[in-house]
């Protein structure tokens, strides 16, 4: 029998993950949050995180969209993680998707693409062949990565952004919505526009 499945983070992102799991006829046992504001989400009970210790052992997925917060929470969890892939996503048999990652409806992950741990591949995203997406990356809805793109840890690619083939994007980068990326991007950069231009270099804490 499969272990119980739990979500950590009672948010709008959590609602979408529940739909992803429902598409595969998987049930969530409970949702946990540090400061829950509701008792139920999509008919799933919400509890204080301290109550996790009182329930049966199971696998967990962190249902928080912010990459930095998701990484911080993951570092504190000892339970094993599971992966959620919508039944309408198109996933190549030669691709690889890490533990704790989520692939939303309509996403396409093509041949030999590698998705790291605790990533979000959002609705309608295209990840083309041989892309390498490292841990804690969020690729927002309708963004497209051409072949052989590398995206390093913690980067957030905005809704509708496009990245041409062979580009390397550094860690903890922010790519603005609708941006068109035609050259490599260094760590911590904020990039916007068509073509994408660096407008700021952040620290990881910004």
Residues designated catalytic: 129
CA 69/CA 84 separation, integer angstroms = 19
For 203, half-sphere exposure in the C-beta direction (CA atoms, 13 angstrom radius) is 2
Residues 71 and 58: their CA atoms lie apart, in Å, by: 20
Q: Which residues of 4-41 are buried (b: 16+ CB within 10 A; e: fewer)?
A: ebbbbbbbebbbbbbebbebeeeebbbbbbeebeeeeb
> Residues 6 or more apart from 147 whose CB is under 8 A from it?
110, 128, 129, 130, 131, 165, 166
**Token pair listed for 116:** 């790291």
Quote the CA–CA distance of 40 and 124 in Å, as a whole number.
28
Give yes or no for a contact between 151 and 134, defined as CB atoms under 8 angstroms apart.
Answer: yes
**DSSP H or E run through 70:** helix 67-74
Q: Is the dihedral of CA 47, 49, 50, 53 positive or negative?
A: positive
């Amino acid at each position: 029998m499969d272990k119980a499945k739990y979500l950590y983070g009672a948010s709008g992102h959590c609602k979408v993950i529940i739909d992803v799991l429902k598409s595969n006829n998987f049930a969530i046992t409970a949702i946990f949050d540090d400061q829950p504001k509701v008792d139920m989400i999509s008919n799933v009970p919400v509890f204080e995180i301290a109550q996790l210790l009182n329930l049966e052992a199971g696998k967990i997925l962190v249902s928080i969209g912010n990459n930095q917060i998701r990484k911080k929470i993951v570092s504190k969890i000892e339970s094993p993680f599971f992966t959620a892939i919508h039944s309408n996503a198109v996933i190549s048999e030669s691709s690889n998707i890490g533990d704790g990652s989520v692939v939303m409806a309509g996403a396409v992950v093509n041949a030999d693409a590698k998705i790291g741990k605790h990533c979000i591949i959002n609705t309608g995203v295209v990840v083309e062949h041989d892309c390498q997406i490292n841990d804690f990356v969020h690729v927002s809805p309708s963004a497209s990565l051409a072949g052989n793109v590398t995206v390093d840890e913690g980067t957030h690619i905005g809704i509708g952004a496009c990245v041409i083939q062979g580009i390397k994007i550094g860690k903890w980068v922010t790519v603005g919505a609708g941006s068109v990326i035609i050259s490599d991007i260094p760590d911590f950069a904020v990039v916007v526009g068509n073509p994408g231009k660096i407008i700021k270099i952040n620290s990881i804490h910004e």
